[in-house]
């Protein structure tokens, strides 16, 4: 699941966070048993900060689907916490299966919820820009 610029949404802050998520998720999928617990914890913490920041962005542009987007974030954070407890107890198999499913979830989330949020942010930015109009003969 390497990062591709085709995944970029045109909001630099979101794109940088998404690139980091993809890199961590990819490293997790390739990790050996010794590295897996620390990488899983790192991905969980990154995802918490990532979602907190997206929550701030949703408020900033008055995103109309905040409830649905936030609910999806809570679901994923709950899953990460659940599998993280297993990892902490030395049970890696279920968390590895979850890590294998992350690319599919992320692609869908990016193309739907995050793309809509990015559009909202771009429209909010455009609304704040001063408009210049040229007049013929002026």
pLDDT at 137 over 70: no
pLDDT tens-digit series, residues 92-131: 999 999 999 999 999 999 999 999 999 999 998 887 766 5
What is the rounded distance in angstroms from the CA atom of residue 123 to the CA atom of residue 129? 10
pLDDT at 136 over 50: no
pLDDT tens-digit series, residues 3-57: 888 899 999 999 999 999 999 999 999 999 999 999 999 999 999 999 999 999 9
Residue 136 lies in a domain: no
For the entire predicted model, the pTM comes to 0.87
Residue 133 lies in a domain: no
* Domain total of the chain: 1
- The whole-number pLDDT of residue 55 equals 97
The 3-class secondary structure across 63-107, one letter per residue, is CCCHHHHHHHHHHHHHHHHHHHHHHHCCCCHHHHHHHHHHHHHHH
Contact in structure between 117 and 17 (CB atoms under 8 Å):
no
Range of the domain at 116: 5-128
Residue 135 lies in a domain: no
Residue 138 lies in a domain: no
Residue 122 lies in a domain: yes
CA proximity to 102, closest of 29, 41, 34: 29
Bigger pLDDT: 74 vs 133: 74
Residue 115 lies in a domain: yes
Residue 15 lies in a domain: yes
Q: Is 119 left (phi over 0), alpha (psi -120 to 50) or beta?
A: alpha
CATH number at residue 20: 1.20.120.50
Residue 120 lies in a domain: yes
């Amino acid at each position: 699941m390497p990062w591709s610029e085709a995944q970029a949404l045109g909001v630099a802050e979101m794109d940088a966070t998404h690139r980091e998520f993809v890199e961590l998720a990819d490293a997790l999928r390739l990790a050996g048993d010794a590295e897996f617990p620390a990488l899983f914890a790192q991905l969980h913490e990154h995802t918490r900060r990532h979602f907190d920041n997206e929550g701030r962005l949703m408020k900033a542009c008055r995103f109309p689907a905040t409830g649905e987007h936030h609910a999806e974030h809570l679901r994923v954070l709950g899953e990460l916490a659940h599998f993280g407890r297993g990892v902490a107890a030395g049970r890696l198999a279920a968390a590895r299966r979850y890590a294998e499913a992350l690319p599919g979830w992320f692609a869908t989330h990016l193309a739907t919820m995050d793309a809509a949020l990015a559009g909202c942010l771009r429209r909010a930015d455009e609304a704040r820009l001063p408009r210049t109009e040229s007049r013929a003969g002026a």
